């Protein structure tokens, strides 16, 4: 990105950032242009850190990230119907342990990103699925800010998963993509030119309205119900994610049943947003994502021998809780980058 700042102004600003400890000035790298080479710049990750928290139906993911985007630690809290206050207390204990392990000063925490699997309704209120009933329709911002003693950014979990993908996954080389978040329900996010597209009502990428009238949708809750009906005991989405076998009874039939409506979604995304890629993420087992990709309808025939630009279908390679990772990045991206 070009700037109207003079070279002298740039040097002065960099010197100030260096004096404050936000960036480091390294040795010059020769051969990058005419004249005296400039010093190489690097972010000082120790200057600040952020915490990302992601609430899914069965588990709370926690991610500790420094200013340079390095993940310093990750943890989880199992959710089994305990009150919100108790879950937040447990999260605080995990956060304290992660900080101690990295010898971090809590005063250097810039803020908290919080993600919840539900759609936005106003303020910092979200409407989540039944297992997260106690988290729904309450002002999460003030509650979380008081619990963690810091500023909080609240987002939908599919949106923060898309942020993680933009910063640490396919977004490093593909700036326009749609993110499909397979969880207890089914949501996602949209990244346009590297930035999260929020939408006029805060729910861009919330794919649920496309699946009206209870038509089959690719929600993992529904797959678990089908598996249980066929004698496969799955206790949670996390259990499904870790133990998934594409050869289990009813898996292929379920995917075939959902496929026509999933393809309607893909066609809608391509027609409205025109992405370069569609990313399969959330808590989806990679083998299940590949089954959906295999059942994606082929593109329409080429007109006059010239086809539309191809849309890549990509299984996310982000390890761990993508929505917690993205939530940790949100405060830093909002204020620093």
Q: List the chain pLDDT tens, one digit each, 337 residues.
A: 566 778 788 778 777 877 777 777 777 766 555 656 667 788 888 889 999 999 999 999 999 999 999 999 999 999 988 899 999 999 999 999 999 999 999 999 999 999 999 999 999 999 998 899 999 999 999 999 999 999 999 999 999 999 999 999 999 999 999 999 999 999 999 999 999 999 999 999 999 889 987 789 999 999 999 999 999 999 999 999 999 999 999 999 999 999 999 999 999 999 999 999 999 999 999 999 999 999 999 988 999 999 999 999 999 999 889 999 999 999 998 887 7
Domains 48-162+322-335 and 170-315 agree in fold: yes
Angle at Cα 53 formed by Cα 286 and Cα 105, nearest 5°? 125
Classify the C-alpha dihedral 68-69-75-77 as positive or negative.
positive
CATH 3.20.19.10 fits 48-162+322-335, yes or no: no
Closest CA to 292 of 312, 273, 313: 313
Closest CA to 70 of 248, 251, 273, 325: 325
Question: Is residue 316 helix, strand or coil?
Answer: coil
> Where in the chain are the domains?
48-162+322-335, 170-315
The DSSP output letter for 139 is -
Return the CATH number of 170-315, one of 3.40.50.720, 3.30.420.40, 3.30.390.50, 3.40.50.300: 3.30.420.40
Q: Which residues are CB-neighbours of 94 under 8 A, at least 6 positions away?
A: 62, 75, 76, 77
């Amino acid at each position: 990105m070009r700037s109207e700042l003079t070279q002298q102004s740039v040097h002065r600003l960099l010197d100030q950032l260096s004096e404050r400890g936000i960036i480091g000035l390294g040795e010059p790298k020769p051969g990058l242009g005419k004249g005296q080479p400039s010093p190489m710049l690097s972010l000082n990750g120790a200057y600040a850190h952020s915490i990302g928290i992601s609430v899914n139906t069965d588990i709370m993911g926690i991610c500790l990230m420094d200013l340079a985007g390095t993940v310093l630690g990750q943890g989880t809290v199992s959710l089994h119907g305990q009150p919100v206050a108790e879950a937040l207390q447990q999260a605080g204990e995990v956060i304290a342990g992660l900080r101690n392990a990295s010898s971090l000063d809590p005063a250097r925490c810039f803020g908290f990103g919080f993600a919840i699997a539900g759609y936005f309704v106003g303020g910092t209120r979200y409407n989540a699925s039944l297992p997260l009933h106690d988290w729904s329709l309450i002002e999460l911002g003030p509650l979380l800010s008081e619990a963690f003693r810091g500023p909080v950014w609240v987002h939908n979990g599919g949106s923060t998963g898309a942020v993680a993908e933009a910063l640490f996954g396919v977004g490093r080389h593909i700036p326009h993509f749609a993110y499909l978040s397979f969880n207890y329900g089914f949501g996602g996010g949209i990244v346009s030119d590297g930035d999260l597209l929020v939408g006029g009502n805060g729910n861009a990428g919330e794919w649920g309205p496309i699946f009206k009238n209870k038509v089959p949708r690719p929600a993992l809750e529904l797959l678990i119900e089908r598996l249980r009906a066929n004698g496969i005991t799955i206790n949670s989405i996390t259990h499904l994610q870790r133990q998934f076998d594409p050869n289990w009874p009813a898996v292929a039939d379920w995917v075939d049943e959902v496929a026509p409506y999933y393809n309607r979604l893909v066609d809608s995304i391509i027609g409205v947003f025109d992405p370069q890629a569609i990313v399969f993420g959330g808590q989806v087992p990679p083998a299940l994502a590949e089954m959906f990709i295999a059942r994606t309808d082929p593109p329409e025939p080429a007109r006059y021998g010239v086809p539309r630009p191809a849309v890549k279908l990509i299984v996310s390679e982000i390890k761990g809780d993508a929505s917690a990772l993205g939530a940790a990045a949100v405060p830093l991206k909002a204020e620093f980058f």
